[in-house]
Amino acid sequence: MYKTIVVHLDSTAAMRATLDVAASIANQMGAHLVGTTASGIAELNYVLAVGAPIAMMPAADIEQLRQDAEQRLAMFRECCRERGVASFETRLLDTTAADALLLQSRYSDLLVAGTDDLKDDGLLLPAGLPGRLVTQAARPVLLVPRQAPADARFNKIMIAWNGSPGVSRLIALAMPFILRAKSIVIAVCNPELERIDLGAEPGADLATYLARHHGNVQVVRHGSNEETDAALAGLAGELRADLMLAGAFGHSRLHDWVLGGTTSGLIARTRIPLLMTH
């Protein structure tokens, strides 16, 4: 079971969808829900201290940044009361959102963030926040698209299986979701193109393993001329999956992380919550 869940309170219009999903999971699992937002004030002060050009300075002053953050915390508290979350708290950090969430991932079971939160507000190294989280966080990250239903009942889970150690680790970390699901689908997409060398029946060994945990497991092998991310997103829709599990891949460049094509494509294309880790 997940007992400590951290949800990012972002500044996008889709924040409520992320909050609703996080609150639903917390209620189902009896978890403590931590609403976290970041003002970015510390980085702003650094930029000002080193004499950055005026073009880099935000229009809002420090007080406005803090007021905006407080409004997000108030929305979180209201949502928790409306949804009947028994245990919750708020945290406001003056770092960037990425730094705040990556730190807290060390002391939680699950991070929840929105897919629409495409940019971290960092002034020095702006980057896609979902991508940074899934490639650097210490815990799995649940990315929630704005159209996700508020009641997060993940009855059908689709695992995007490519035979990698990362996806294998994710499956172990996702057991609280897997054990509560009604059915599990192991999706093997273009095994030849993805170079999945797992015998004559890719996915069969994983199905045998999962069958010891769950009584309803099936393997779907899907061939497509589309890119892997598009094929997986489309297959999830055809199967009417409620949650997709997928590994996240990236490489280091100039101390930042650049996502692989399939990872970034899935984040952009998914219409259902996406659970990822590296």
State pLDDT tens for residues 201-217: 889 999 999 999 999 99
Pairing of strands 217-222, 256-259: unpaired
How would CATH label the architecture of 4-144? Answer: 3-Layer(aba) Sandwich (3.40)
Beta strands in the chain (DSSP E): 4-8, 32-38, 88-93, 110-114, 141-144, 156-160, 183-189, 217-222, 243-247, 250-253, 256-259, 274-277
- Which pLDDT value is given to residue 2? 98
Instruction: Give the model's confidence band at 223: pLDDT under 50 very low, under 70 low, under 90 confident, else very high.
Output: confident
State pLDDT tens for residues 224-267: 888 888 999 999 999 999 999 998 865 444 333 445 567 888 99
Using CA atoms, how far residue 161 sits from 2, 64, 164, 165, 247, in Å, is: 23, 45, 8, 10, 8
- Which pLDDT value is given to residue 202? 85
| CATH fold for the domain made of 156-277 | Rossmann fold (3.40.50)
| pLDDT at residue 4 is higher than 50 | yes
Residues forming beta bridges with residue 247, ordered by sequence position:
277
pTM score of the predicted model? 0.88
Task: State the span(s) of the chain assigned CATH 3.40.50.620.
Answer: 4-144, 156-277
